[in-house]
Amino acid sequence: MDGPSASGKGTLSRLLAKELGYTYVDSGAMYRTLAWYCLCQKVSIPATPNELNPVTAKPVISALRRWKAELKVVDGAIWLHVGGYFPKIEIRTDPVEKTVPIIAQIGKVRDWMVARQRDCLKFGPLVMEGRDIGTEVFPLAPIKFFLDANPAARQERMQGRGNQASTNRDLLDINRRQGALIPALDSIRIDNTGQTVEETFTEIMRQVRLRQAQR
């Protein structure tokens, strides 16, 4: 389940995983966990993606190589735990929000994350949400969705839940060299502008049941 910020992919992925009895994975939380770890360790991080280069990215890569991160299932979802701890609240703070778009541009970080996301298969069938799941992580997944809504609707949703982030994050990810935010060619694209969660979920389940019947 891919899509930009506030496209509903998180809520709908959790609903879908519960309905199907699958394990839920928030791939973005993995990047957030690394961002949180780097901030805690006072790792030097460029202020903007434009300042990234092999030299400025090196401290983050070094942190990635030394942290003790492990995949664990908690209440039907897979999360990265660091030293046995999952920073559930901490990864949703503003400092992490600002740091994630920067470290997510680093190729070696993305390589590490993609490998861990693929490792999640050891826990069984998955519903995984993110920005490059259908194109990079699981390009052969039998069912792929790409959710979207117009920028005004998405910005309104973010503000409605107290999130001060903007859709500028999506512009960075769309233009990213590796793991860009683009729909897989065989993805089911749903524009849910003006739709309720229930309406979008009904369409998702219709598509899932249709494809299950064809297999």
* Co-location of 150 and 90 in the same domain: no
Q: 124, 151, 178: which is the final residue of a domain?
A: 124
State which residues form the domain around 117.
Answer: 27-124
Instruction: Confirm whether pTM is higher than 0.85.
Output: yes
**How high is the pLDDT of residue 168?**
61
| Cα dihedral across residues 149, 150, 153, 155: positive or negative | positive
The letter for the amino acid at 21 is G
* Co-location of 133 and 89 in the same domain: no
Structure tokens at 79: 């999360």
* Co-location of 44 and 101 in the same domain: yes
* Co-location of 96 and 179 in the same domain: no
**How high is the pLDDT of residue 215?**
76
Measured in whole angstroms, how far is the alpha carbon of residue 173 from the centre of its chain?
Answer: 11
What pLDDT band is residue 88 in, cutting at 50, 70 and 90? Answer: very high
* Co-location of 200 and 163 in the same domain: yes
What pLDDT band is residue 212 in, cutting at 50, 70 and 90? Answer: confident
What pLDDT band is residue 205 in, cutting at 50, 70 and 90? Answer: very high
Q: 124, 145, 173: which is the final residue of a domain?
A: 124
Q: What is the pLDDT of residues 93-116, one digit of tens each?
A: 999 999 999 999 999 999 999 999
Q: 124, 156, 185: which is the final residue of a domain?
A: 124
* Co-location of 117 and 38 in the same domain: yes
* Co-location of 33 and 111 in the same domain: yes
Average pLDDT over every residue of 128-136: 96
Cα separation of 88 and 65, whole Å?
A: 22
* Co-location of 129 and 119 in the same domain: no
* Co-location of 4 and 38 in the same domain: no
* Co-location of 98 and 155 in the same domain: no
Task: Give the count of domains, the chain.
Answer: 2
Residue among 167, 170, 164 at smallest CA distance from 154: 167
**How high is the pLDDT of residue 165?**
55
* Co-location of 149 and 177 in the same domain: yes
* Co-location of 44 and 90 in the same domain: yes
Cα separation of 136 and 148, whole Å?
A: 19
Length reported for the chain: 215
Distances (CA, A) of 210 to 127, 143, 201, 204, 214: 17, 10, 14, 10, 7
| Residues facing residue 189 across a β-bridge | 146
What pLDDT band is residue 180 in, cutting at 50, 70 and 90? Answer: confident
CATH number for the domain including 162? 3.40.50.300
